[in-house]
Amino acid sequence: MPMTLTEKVLARAAGKASVQPGEFLEIEPDLGLANDITAPLAIEEFERTSAKAVRYPERVFLVADHFTPNKDIQSAEQVKQLREFARKHPGVHFFEQGEVGVEHALLPEMGAIVPGMTVIGADSHTCTYGALGAFATGVGSTDLAGFLLTGKAWLKVPPTIRAVFSGKPDAWVTGKDLILALIGRISVSGATYRAIEFAGSVIDALSVEGRLTMANMAVEAGAKNGIFAADAKTRAYLSGRTDRPWQPLAADPGARYERVVEIDTAGMRPVVAFPHLPSNVRPAREAGDVAIDQVVIGSCTNGRIEDLRLAAEVLRGRRVDRRVRCLVIPATVAVYRQALKEGLFDVFLDAGAVISPPTCGPCLGGHMGILASGERCVSTTNRNFVGRMGHRTSEVYLASPAVAAASAVAGKVADPAEIAGPRKGAR
């Protein structure tokens, strides 16, 4: 029976010739991860069983990224819990301080993810890894505790929505704009417990970093996972990062999709998701006079080196508006180092931005950029719900690094072409 890409990965994981939507599977995931917010709950459940050992310690990744560098005593205690658990169970991977990064940027960067893997993570944006052809989905902390104990997970095969992007968009358009356009089309519940399989000529031309951004936000449409077929760009990205063997997978001809969504990007301009839903999307140049107080460039969605280069392209030789706080947060130490090496930090500092160490911080209203009452922020993060980044009356506008940088200069939501002019040579 012809299968979609998600079905093929799950069939392999379950040791079956084929699977179909609605079928329940018991699998042994290749990797399980958690962070300093979700891991403590999983650890406590694991230790309540009096188990002596983690079933597959080498498959467990614990990343202290949400409230780090520790913002208070409670966050310090939570990271301590992860640290001590990793020491107690040799083989468990633990990352903090000088080797840490935002988890969903760190694991692909270090070669921990390859096509065909199955990944569960106690964080909703675990779906990021589908950019590399893996089945990756978020689970609860108790589900992760079960994985620590048994090495197994239980899930239902999702039906698949195929999202096909064609045409030639404006040169400032990025993966962030594409995924926001899709969410705007189908809504924040339009893919609930579905897989989104991305395809089309625009996807073929998109960088792996752009695909990571799109897969990251599949959950904002309610999706169980987002996934891309591995190709030459995937192979080039993984080259030198991993020696783990892998084979590319693609959907079978004749695979059955619940729905096909076609998006023609011809002439598409950069977009912004207005408060308070990622689906409240409109072109940045049609935003009107929306004055802002803060800009955040970073996160597991848009904190990679390609994102910082794009922001620097807009900010170079310009100054952030005096009414705006502009925060730049490299997602990993390697991104931080590369940005420093390329002189991007000089661009950001000359523009009046503040550079932070890798952290999730402001994305979830944790620290390093909390909003006061009534303040507005243009952010490259992934959620703009009520109170997401601070006070309940604050507002978050989701955008690409180019739009965020342009908005920082303009002091209001802005299209990058309004600040930096047409982009040349990008496509």
Identify the CATH number of the domain defined by range 5-263.
3.30.499.10
Structure tokens at 255: 């695979």
Per-residue tens of pLDDT for the chain, all 427 residues: 899 999 999 999 999 999 999 999 999 999 999 999 999 999 999 999 989 999 999 999 999 999 988 889 999 999 999 999 999 999 999 998 888 999 999 999 999 999 999 999 999 999 999 999 999 999 999 999 999 999 999 999 999 999 999 999 999 999 999 999 999 999 999 999 999 999 999 999 999 999 999 999 999 999 999 999 999 999 999 999 999 999 888 999 999 999 999 999 999 999 999 999 999 999 999 999 999 999 999 999 999 999 999 999 999 999 999 999 999 999 999 999 999 999 999 999 999 999 999 999 998 888 999 999 999 999 999 999 999 999 999 999 999 999 999 999 999 999 999 999 999 755 4
CATH: 3.40.50.720, 3.40.50.1100, 3.30.499.10, 3.30.70.3270. Which one for 271-420?
3.30.499.10
CA separation for the pair 409, 405 (Å, rounded): 7
CA separation for the pair 340, 346 (Å, rounded): 8
Bridge partners (DSSP) listed for residue 198: 163, 228
Question: What DSSP assignment string belongs to 372-398?
Answer: -TT-EEEESSS---TTTTBSTT-EEEE
Q: Where in the chain is the domain with CATH 3.30.499.10?
A: 5-263, 271-420
Helix (H) or strand (E) holding 212: helix 208-216
Check: CB of residue 415 under 8 Å from CB of residue 283.
Answer: yes
CA separation for the pair 98, 334 (Å, rounded): 10
Q: Within a 10 A sphere around the Cβ of 391, how many other Cβ atoms?
A: 15
CA separation for the pair 95, 169 (Å, rounded): 39
pTM greater than the 0.85 cutoff:
yes
Check: CB of residue 64 under 8 Å from CB of residue 297.
Answer: no
The residues, ordered by sequence, that sit 6+ positions from 303 with a Cβ below 8 Å of its Cβ are 102, 105, 297, 329, 330, 331, 332, 335, 358, 380
Check: CB of residue 393 under 8 Å from CB of residue 275.
Answer: no
Q: Strand, coil or helix: what is 31?
A: strand
